[in-house]
Every structure is written in structure tokens, then in C-alpha cells.
């Protein structure tokens, strides 16, 4: 079978390859850490930069990629520090990312 995240061979009856399992464990263990620190930890595993990018961009279940989950965690921590309620999920980050950004004061993102 192929890995659900990076599409590399994973082995018989396995959904993830060994590298993506290791990367997923690092992301799960270090929730709330800044994005650059997570990238350093992921690259320190010895995985190639392309493999790390494929892992971060993969969205196998449609609820948001690993990158979206990391950004949601960072946003929730920032909003909590500012005293704001209302946590964001990875799906919320994905929706905002796909929607686009403002191109000018009178040109809102597409809906």
C-alpha cells in the first residue's frame, strides 16, 4: 500500500510509511510550538525537505493538513493570550487559506 500522506510505499496493511509516522508523532508531541521550531524538529529526523513538505501539505481526510493544524494551534494560543475565546480548528484554517486574501481595501477575498 501507499502512504496516505506522502504517497510513498508504506508496506503491507499500513496506512502510513515509517517516516510519516515519525513526523506525525513529532507534531503531536510538540503541539503549541512555533512553526519554525516544528520545522527544525521535523528536519532533524533526517527526512528530506521534500518529504517534510509532502507531509505538511497532505490532507487525507479533508479536515485540514498538518500545516493547518499547526497554524490553528498557534492561532489558539495567540487568541488565548489576548483573552479572546473561540478556538480555531484545522478545518477553519483550511477554509480561510482556500478563500484567499484581500488584494486591496475594496477587493475582499472570494467567498
Q: Establish if 6 belongs to a structural domain.
A: no
Q: Is the pLDDT of residue 14 over 80?
A: yes
For residue 71, the enclosing domain spans 18-99
Segment 15-62, tens digit of pLDDT: 889 899 999 899 989 988 888 999 999 999 999 999 999 999 988 777
Helix/strand/coil (H, E, C) string of 30-57? CCCCCHHHHHHHHHCCCCCHHHHHHHHH
Q: Establish if 73 belongs to a structural domain.
A: yes
Q: Establish if 5 belongs to a structural domain.
A: no
pTM of the model: 0.76
Average pLDDT over residues 85-90: 82
Rounded Cα gap, residues 67 and 94, in angstroms: 9
Q: Establish if 4 belongs to a structural domain.
A: no
List residues bridging with 2 in a β-sheet.
9
Predicted confidence band of residue 111 (pLDDT cuts 50, 70, 90): low
Q: Establish if 65 belongs to a structural domain.
A: yes
Q: Establish if 87 belongs to a structural domain.
A: yes
Contacts of 55 (CB under 8 A, 6+ apart): 5, 6, 19, 20, 23, 24, 42, 47, 66
Domain count, the chain: 1
Q: Establish if 84 belongs to a structural domain.
A: yes
Q: Establish if 106 belongs to a structural domain.
A: no
- At 12 the three-state DSSP class reads coil
- pLDDT value of position 39: 92
Amino acid at each position: 500500500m501507499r502512504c496516505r500522506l506522502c504517497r510513498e510505499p508504506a508496506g503491507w496493511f499500513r496506512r502510513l510509511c515509517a517516516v510519516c509516522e515519525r513526523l506525525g508523532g513529532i507534531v503531536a508531541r510538540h503541539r503549541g510550538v512555533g512553526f519554525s521550531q516544528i520545522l527544525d524538529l521535523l528536519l532533524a529526523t533526517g527526512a528530506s525537505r521534500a518529504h517534510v513538505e509532502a507531509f505538511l501539505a497532505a490532507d487525507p481526510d479533508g479536515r485540514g493538513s498538518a500545516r493547518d493544524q499547526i497554524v490553528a494551534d498557534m492561532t489558539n494560543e495567540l487568541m488565548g493570550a489576548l483573552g479572546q475565546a473561540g478556538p480555531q480548528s484545522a478545518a477553519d484554517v483550511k477554509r480561510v487559506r482556500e478563500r484567499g486574501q484581500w488584494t486591496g481595501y475594496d477587493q475582499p477575498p472570494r467567498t
